[in-house]
Amino acid sequence: MHTYESGLKEEMQHQSELSMTINGVPKSRTVKPWVSLLDYLREYLDLTGTKKGCDHGQCGACTVICDGKRILSCLTLAVMKEGSEITTIEGIAKDGELHPLQQAFIDHDAFQCGYCTPGQICSAIGMIAEGKAKTRSEVKELMSGNLCRCGANTNIIDAIMDVQKGAGNE
Partner 1 sequence: MPPMEQQKLSGRPLVGQAISRLEGYEKVTGAARYSGEFNVKDLLYGYVINSTITKGKIISIDTSKAEAIPGVITVFHHGNRPSLAWFSMQYADMDAPPGTPFRPLQNGEVKYNGQPIALLVADSFETARYAATLVKVVYTTEEFQTDLIGNMAKARAPKGGLATFLKPPPPKPFGDFEKAFEAAPFKATGKFIHGTEHHNPMELFTTTTVYNGKGKLTIYDKTQGTVNCQLYVANVFGLHFKDVRVISPYVGGAFGSGLRPQHQLFFSVMAALELKRNVRVTLDRHQMFTFGHRPPTVQFTRFGATVDGKVTALNHEAIAETSRFEDYTEVVVNWAHMLYPAQNTLFKYNLVPLDVFSPLDMRAPGGSTGLHAIESTMDELAYQLKIDPLELRLINYAERDESTDRPYSSKELRKCYLQGAEQFGWNKRSPEPRSMRNGHKLVGYGMATGIWEAMQLPARAAASITTEGKLKVNSAVTDIGTGTLTVMSQIAADEMGLPLEDVSFTYGDSKMAFAPIQGGSFTISSVGSAVKAACNALKKKILKKAKTMDNSPFKSHKIDEVVFADRKMISIANPSVFISYSDIIAANDHKVIKSVNFAMPKALKLKKYSRAAHSASFVEVEVDEELGTINVTRAVTAVAAGKIINPKTAKSQILGGMVWSISKALREETISDHRFGKYMNMNIAEYHIPVHADIHDLDVIFVEEQDDIVNELGTKGVGEIGLAAMPSAIANAIYHATGKRINQFPIHFDQLL
Give the residues lining the site for ligand FES (CB under 6 A).
52-55, 57-62, 72, 74, 111-117, 148-150, 152
Amino acid at 23: N
Residue among 27, 75, 84, 147 that touches partner 1 (CB under 8 A): 147
Which is closer to ligand FES, CB of 20 or CB of 148? 148
The residues near 98 (Cβ < 8 Å, ≥ 6 apart) are 106
Does the protein bind partner 1 through residue 2 (CB under 8 A)? no
Does the protein bind partner 1 through residue 50 (CB under 8 A)? yes
Angle in degrees, CA 163, 26, 31, rounded to 5 = 110
Which one of partner 1, ligand FES, none interacts with residue 62, CB within 5 to 8 A by kind?
Answer: ligand FES
Which is closer to ligand FES, CB of 33 or CB of 53? 53
Does the protein bind partner 1 through residue 156 (CB under 8 A)? yes
